[in-house]
Copies of this chain bind each other. A is one copy, B any other.
Amino acid sequence: MQTLNVALGERSYPIHIGPGLLRQAERLLPHLAQPRVAIVTNTTVGPLYLEALSGTLAGAGVEVIPIILPDGEQYKNWETLNQIFDALLTHRAERKTTLIALGGGVIGDLTGFAAACYQRGVPFIQVPTTLLAQVDSSVGGKTGINHPLGKNMIGAFYQPKLVLADTDTLNTLPDRELSAGLAEVIKYGLIRDLPFLEWLETNLERLVARETQALTYAIYHACRNKAEVVAADERESGQRALLNLGHTFGHAIEAGMGYGNWLHGEAVAAGTMLAAELSRRLGYLTDTDLRRIAALFERARLPVKAPALGVETYLAYMGVDKKVEEGRIRFVLLERLGSAFVTAEVPAEVLRATLAQTTH
């Protein structure tokens, strides 16, 4: 097991990474304010891991309220959030009752937002069971739901008390979701960690083969990079925006294709290629750089070509993106491999030319 501390003053918390953590009551107990928790999971993850986690807690004298939600990004909405509130109120969950998110990013976002809002804030623990959630959604405190007019438009910054990333849970993850998680792992190398990017170029097949040691290393270094960024900029005013490499394009892809058809990580991979292409057109990256990025994504079995939605559709979806400021779109670009920056100085014609390339 490796442990990383996310340094956020009085909101600091540990991330434990490694195999078998679901069975270790001693990891959870010190963080519970009362011997009562609600475990929020879904109909896919519940049958696989709810009994194990509940058993660990019940064996330590902790009462468990199970809350099982439908599975899928299309359920990341108010109706599903309200199912959590209904269950908490029906079971008279109190201000010291801890909410545990057992599942992927959707479960983490829903549960974290429910914890932020229920009685104006109750304790919250993340037990992410997908690679994407382990390296991304469980670090940084972003929680929330989608709105018909925009993804992640309603939410809160809310930190967990603890994150348990049990690498054993990745053994049941579908290949496509493992790949989607690798998109975010590769992102950390691209934006701020060239040595990690080079480690990935050497070891990517070990991750695809789900070797525990390689996974633990990759999750640790992805989380370390994200934790460093978040610690410096908890409320996303400055460098935290760099984490959104590929996301402005990616959100447009997800929205344009209909939420749930492209996985978030798949959209980020194709979106990152658009951001890289934009960086190349503005003179930052070379053709060789782009080939290195594409090769990594392809070895991770990720799409490198964005769908041909049409330039205007892309622009429309990008216009309601949260990264809009004073009506101008801010882009995360790569100045070289291992270093990203934010700019609002992208000429409209270069953006259009980049987007037009998706139709070729």
State whether A120 touches B78 (Cβ < 8 A).
no
> Which A residues from 228 to 262 make CB contacts under 8 A with B?
235-236
User: At the interface with chain B, which of A40-48, A146-154, A215-223?
Assistant: A146-154
Does A5 belong to the interface (CB within 8 Å)? no
**Cβ of A319 under 8 Å from chain B:** yes
Q: In chain A between 139 and 188, which residues have their CB closer than 8 angstroms to a CB of chain B?
A: 142, 144, 147, 149-150, 153-157
A153 and B89 form a contact (CB under 8 A):
yes
What chain B residues lie within 8 Å of A96 (beta carbons)?
A: 325-326
Q: Is residue A357 within 8 Å, beta carbon to beta carbon, of the partner chain? A: no
A82:B78 contact, CB within 8 angstroms: yes
Q: B157–A121 contact, CB under 8 A?
A: yes
Q: How far is the CB of A255 from chain B (nearest CB, A)?
A: 13
Name A325's closest neighbour in chain B (CB-CB): B94
Q: Pick the contact of A92 from B94, B95, B320 — CB < 8 Å?
A: B320
Q: State whether the Cβ of A60 lies closer than 8 Å to any Cβ in chain B.
A: no
Given contacts A82-B78, A89-B153, A118-B154, contact A95 B322 (CB under 8 A): yes
Q: Are B142 and A325 in contact (CB under 8 A)?
A: no
**A289 CB, min distance to chain B CBs, angstroms:** 32
A284 to chain B, nearest CB (A): 27
Say yes or no for A1: interface residue by CB 8 A criterion: no
A119, CB-defined interface residue at 8 Å: yes
- Contact between chains at B92 and A153 (CB < 8 Å): no
B324 x A94 contact (CB < 8 A): yes
Residue A34 CB within 8 A of the other chain: yes
Complex contacts, A322 vs chain B, CB 8 Å:
95, 119
Q: How far is the CA of A235 from the CA of B158 in the complex (A)?
A: 14
Chain B residues whose CB sits within 8 angstroms of the CB of A89 once the complex forms: 147, 149-150, 153, 320
Q: How many whole Å from A316's CB to the nearest CB in chain B?
A: 11
The answer to whether A85 has its CB under 8 Å from any CB of chain B is: yes
Query: CB-CB contacts of A18-56 with B at 8 A, as 1s and 0s?
Result: 000000000000000010000000000000000000000
Which residues of A in the span 201-227 have a Cβ within 8 Å of any Cβ on B?
none
A120–B92 contact, CB under 8 A?
no
Rounded to whole angstroms, the CA-CA distance of A345 and B221 in the bound complex is: 51
| A120:B157 contact, CB within 8 angstroms | yes
Q: How many angstroms from the CA of A235 to the CA of B236 in the assembled complex?
A: 23
A348→B324 CA distance, assembly (Å): 57
Binding site for B on A (CB under 8 A): 34, 78, 82, 85-86, 89-90, 92, 94-96, 116-121, 142, 144, 147, 149-150, 153-157, 235-236, 319-320, 322, 324-327
Which 6 pairs from chain A and chain B are nearest by CB? A89-B149, A120-B155, A117-B154, A119-B322, A120-B157, A120-B156
